[in-house]
Amino acid sequence: MAPLYSLADRLRYRRHQNNGRRGEDLAHRYLRKRGFIVAARNWRPPQGGGEIDLVAWQGDTLVFVEVKFRTSGEWSAPEREIDRDKMHTLRRAARDYIRRSGTEDPRVRFDVICITANVVDHLRDAFPLDTEA
């Protein structure tokens, strides 16, 4: 029985990974159509500790984008998965990106793009960079 469970886990992971990639592709296209310049995808700080799905510029504002994708809206809204710990991780990664990119004091915001059954919901300025509460 154990080999069957192992196989099922591998298949489930592969499918999840493809859905995540599909969601990021849709969000990337969505942002580009709206004039954003995407600077990075799946950016990870070298020391580890999180991943930023998309980093983009909208004019002179540096936008860090978290993408949440669901094939259906049966369970809950995708943005509900962004809890205090996730925000802390994203903030830390964003600060590292800003420091490493050499960008001088940019205006920064965090957006969340929720995609449910190919419907895109763009939540601008979902949470601030500096407030940890």
The residue behind tokens 């936008």 is 63
Contact 126, 80 (CB under 8 A): no
Contact 91, 132 (CB under 8 A): yes
Residue 10 is encoded by which pair of tokens? Answer: 């591998």
Q: pLDDT tens for residues 58-81?
A: 999 999 999 988 776 555 565 667
| Structure confidence at residue 127 (pLDDT) | 86
Q: pLDDT tens for residues 18-44?
A: 667 788 888 999 999 999 999 999 999
pTM: 0.79
Q: What does the chain look like in DSSP terms, one character per residue?
A: -HHHHHHHHHHHHHHHHHHHHHHHHHHHHHHHHTT-EEEEEEE--TT-S--EEEEEEETTEEEEEEEEEES-SSS--GGGG--HHHHHHHHHHHHHHHHHHT--S-EEEEEEEEEETTEEEEEEEEE-SS---
CATH class of 2-127: alpha beta
pLDDT bin (cut points 50, 70, 90) of residue 133 is: very low
| Structure confidence at residue 1 (pLDDT) | 61
Q: Cα 7 to chain center, whole Å?
A: 28
